Amino acid sequence: MNKTIDKMLDKREMIFISSTNRSDARNFHVSDYYRTPIPKIKEFLSEFSKHENILNSKIRILDPCAGGDNTNQMSYPTAIQEFSNQDISIDTIDIRDDSRANLKQDYLKFQPKEKYDVIITNPPFNLSLDIINKALNDVKEGGFVIMLLRLNCLGGKVRQELWKNNMPKYIFVHNKRMSFTDNGKTDSIEYAHFVWKKGYNPNFSKLKVLISK
């Protein structure tokens, strides 16, 4: 019985440290990697760009949980380059050895040499609060932190201080549930791109529902 429990704990630990895992309720994926759909990122970028014109060749972007593997591109860098159709500097970090990221490292231990204009990623759920707080420290004043999160992140005592001190400027809700696996299946969770602007703490967020085509 103890061996069985040890195996379960080992498996849970592997899921916890994944840089891109979406839900503890899912079965363990063979590569421990769930890809953010590039069309969904472009869907967000299309609407976001109507409100904030930030994508240009002078901008510095960081994706701290970049993902990618031998057969798949890194989702956010690929989506940004394809959507903007220009050469944008994007630094990439991922804890996984098989990632395509430039730097294989735990982002929470990463010390940037200078602040970024934008930090954007799809963080592991169990580390999302830590990653958000670090990202808000790692962007320039007036810079943007953009995270794909479960919509139910708006609840819970653990995030009360975040909402009190750093209310997002925008929340872009994807009305159609996302699939992060090859089989196209989804879980029972809605997702949204949360957008913070450093130094800007509004009384409430602007919410936009993105209607998938």
pLDDT digits (tens, 9 = 90+) for 151-162: 999 998 999 999
Supply the mean pLDDT for the chain.
85
Residues 36 and 179 sit within 8 Å (Cβ to Cβ): no
Whether the predicted pLDDT of 4 surpasses 60: no
% of the chain at pLDDT higher than 70: 84
Q: What are phi and psi of 14, to 5 degrees?
A: -65, -40
Q: Are 135 and 64 in contact (CB under 8 A)?
A: yes
What amino acid occupies position 160?
Q
pLDDT in tens, 72-98: 999 999 999 999 998 899 999 999 999
Class of 2-210 per CATH?
Answer: alpha beta
156's torsion region: left (phi>0), alpha (psi -120 to 50) or beta? left
SS (H, E, C) 9-58: HHHHHHHHHCCCCCCCCCCCCCCCCCCCCHHHHHHHHHHHCCCCCCCCCC
